[in-house]
Amino acid sequence: MQKVIALIKKDLTVDWRQQNPISGILLYLASTIFTSFMAFKGFISIEVWNALFWTIILFTAITAISKSFVQEERRSLYYFFLVKPNDLVISKLIYSFLYLMALSFLSLAIFSVLFGNPITNYLLFTFNLLLGCLGLSSAFTMISAIAFKASNRSIMMAVLGFPVIIPVLVLTISNSAKILDHTIWSQIQGNMLTLISVDVIIIALTFVLFPFIWRS
């Protein structure tokens, strides 16, 4: 765990020193939400609120996490002799998840100010948000690792990413819509368990595939 923590601190330090990526993501997040606010003039239904919120979370995840392994291009040989593949991928998964969660809560705060807050069951909504961010961050981390070894990275990200994130998006958006419609836990328990299973499968595939990708 010491190596994992050290790698997470390294990613945090690199992002803090190179503030352009963070500034760009925050600008993208704020401008997208404000543009939506101006377009809808602040009056939207719960369904539109839910759709806009998850659309922005999705594209924020793509922007923030797609660079996960691209920035390690110059350090890949260095890592190869210092850390195990599993240590590296664990650190990336944890950092990507925490990064996306922070952006998601920031997005939710801005959304609540501009569009109002239709959430009544905060505990259930937050749990669903955690599972959604875990699935998206894990999927894009895995795809970023695969695309890292390819020549056309942007095309690989698009081709590989779409089929992987579809189950996560369908379940997360469906759960979110039901929660905003005052649905209780027992009515969405099946969807939640399915979403947890999908997240576990994505993370398990990442652990299985990454050592072979890293050594290739």
Q: At what angle do helices 85-115 and 185-215 cross, to 10 degrees?
A: 140
Reply yes or no on whether the pLDDT at 43 is more than 80. Answer: no
pLDDT at residue number 128: 93
pLDDT at residue number 158: 66
Domain ranges, ordered by start, for the chain: 2-215
Q: What is the mean pLDDT of residues 153-178?
A: 81
Neighbours of 160 (CB within 10 A): 18
* DSSP designation for 83: S
Reply yes or no on whether the pLDDT at 77 is more than 80. Answer: no
Residues of the chain with pLDDT > 90: what percent? Answer: 19
List the one residue out of 103, 81, 99, 79 whose CA is nearest residue 89: 79
List the one residue out of 106, 130, 115 whose CA is nearest residue 179: 130
Average pLDDT over the chain, rounded to an integer? 82
Assess contact for 160 and 146: CB atoms under 8 A: yes
Burial class (CB in 10 A: 0-12, 13-18, 19+), 193: exposed
pLDDT at residue number 65: 79
Could you identify the residue written with the tokens 């995840």? 61
pLDDT at residue number 154: 62
pLDDT at residue number 163: 80
